[in-house]
């Protein structure tokens, strides 16, 4: 009986280890087929479970499985370190006065969510300078009308297909929505004077056609960012983690993540096993000072909060054309 129980333990660990190995290695095929990129999103889970399997293997005296699991852990840790190394650490971070910083909340409010008061309460509690909402329909726009006394500058496009978008601000801005790809998805491009804001909501990469639209959307956003001639912030639901093949163009374009470890849990709410960060605030020629995921507002995403400042030297250089 003891040998049978031990064999069952080995069998379970082998199965868990083989699944983990497949999931970890499948991501390397993502440049060739969109489906494999889905495995890239769960790096921190892979690290945790590989360490767990390694420890359990040692506990039941299976050093071979422990070694294999540890190798899987090293592979995932190496990939995490590589991506994180692409982000620059702020050098000689100067002290910035509160009035020089801009705060922003980005929230996928979920079109079908009717808990409008929870979002409004969150805005009143955090009082950001800018509020970006995606998945807004006419009902959401009507409900958020109450915040316009504090946020007199706003622009929105209400849609019932989960791709509506709205931007509310205490700071004056100009600009409008562009539309991307065959799905005609809105992409906000707004000029705040010292910086530009792009509000983002890509399609989820759940099929070949959707993944293609996601890539096209990101490409359009980066092209729009490149013609701004000033610091740029992008905020919204990117439907991708920083470990994904679809995030590489953003990173290679010089954008810094406000959460460069990819550890913030933004989706899905209430499921820590699948917890990933697909809502982001990216910035180029800005310095991030704060970032956090906020409380549940009834959506399947957690809102995110960030605070940034525009680098004065960069902005002045851009303005004078030097």
Question: According to the 3-state scheme, what is the secondary structure of 41-85?
Answer: HHHHHHHHHHHHHHHHHHHCCCHHHHHHHHHHHHHHHHHHHHHHC
SS3 (DSSP) at 322: coil
Among residues 282, 289, 216, 203, the alpha carbon closest in space to that of 250 is found at 282
Q: How many DSSP H helices and E strands does the chain contain?
A: 8, 12
User: Using an 8 Å Cβ cutoff, are 267 and 279 in contact?
Assistant: yes
Q: Does domain 98-320 have CATH number 3.40.50.450?
A: no
Per-residue pLDDT 10s for the chain (322 aa) are 444 455 555 677 889 899 999 999 999 999 999 999 999 999 999 999 999 999 998 888 888 889 999 999 999 999 999 999 988 776 555 677 777 899 999 999 999 999 999 999 999 999 999 999 999 999 999 999 999 999 999 999 999 999 999 999 999 999 999 999 999 999 999 999 999 999 999 999 999 999 999 999 999 999 999 999 999 999 999 999 999 999 999 999 999 999 988 889 999 999 999 999 999 999 999 999 999 999 999 999 999 999 999 976 454 444 433 3
SS3 (DSSP) at 131: strand
Q: Which letter, b or e, does each residue of 180-218 get, where b requires 16 or more Cβ atoms within 10 Å of its Cβ?
A: bbebebbbbbbebebbbbbbbbbbebeeeebbebbbbbb
User: Using an 8 Å Cβ cutoff, are 69 and 50 in contact?
Assistant: yes
| CA distances in angstroms from 295 to 102, 107, 300, listed in the order given | 21, 11, 11
Q: 């800018």: which residue's tokens?
A: 130
What is the model's pTM?
0.91
Q: Where are the domains of the chain?
A: 2-84, 98-320
User: Using an 8 Å Cβ cutoff, are 13 and 50 in contact?
Assistant: no
**Which segments within the chain are labelled E, that is strand?**
101-108, 130-134, 153-157, 165-169, 174-180, 185-191, 196-201, 232-237, 256-257, 279-284, 286-293, 304-310
């Amino acid at each position: 009986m003891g040998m049978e129980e031990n064999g069952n333990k080995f069998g379970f660990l082998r199965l868990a280890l083989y699944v983990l190995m497949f999931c970890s290695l499948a991501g390397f095929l993502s440049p060739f087929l969109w489906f494999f990129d889905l495995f890239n999103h769960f790096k921190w889970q892979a690290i945790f479970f590989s360490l767990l399997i390694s420890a359990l293997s040692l506990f039941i005296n299976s050093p071979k499985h422990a070694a294999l699991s540890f190798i899987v852990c090293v592979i995932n840790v190496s990939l995490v370190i590589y991506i994180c190394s692409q982000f620059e650490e702020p050098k000689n971070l100067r002290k910035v006065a509160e009035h020089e910083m801009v705060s922003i909340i980005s929230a996928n409010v979920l079109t079908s969510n009717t808990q409008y008061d929870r979002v409004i309460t969150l805005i009143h509690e955090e009082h950001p300078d800018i509020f970006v909402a995606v998945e807004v329909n006419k009902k959401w726009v009507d409900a958020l009308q109450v915040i316009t006394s504090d946020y007199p500058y706003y622009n929105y496009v209400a849609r019932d297909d989960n791709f509506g978008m709205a931007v509310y601000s205490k700071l004056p801005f100009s600009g409008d929505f562009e539309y991307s790809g065959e799905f005609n998805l809105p992409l906000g491009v707004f000029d705040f004077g010292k910086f530009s804001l792009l509000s983002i909501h890509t399609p989820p990469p759940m099929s070949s056609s959707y993944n293609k639209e996601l890539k096209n959307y990101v490409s359009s956003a980066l092209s729009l960012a490149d013609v701004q001639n000033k610091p740029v912030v992008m905020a919204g639901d990117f439907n991708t983690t920083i470990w994904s093949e679809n995030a590489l163009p953003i990173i290679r374009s010089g954008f810094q993540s406000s959460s460069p470890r990819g550890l913030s849990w933004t989706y899905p709410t209430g499921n820590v096993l699948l917890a990933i960060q697909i809502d982001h605030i990216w910035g180029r020629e800005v310095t991030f000072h704060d970032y956090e995921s906020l409380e549940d507002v009834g959506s399947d995403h957690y809102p995110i909060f960030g605070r940034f400042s525009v680098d004065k030297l960069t902005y002045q250089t851009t303005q004078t054309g030097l």
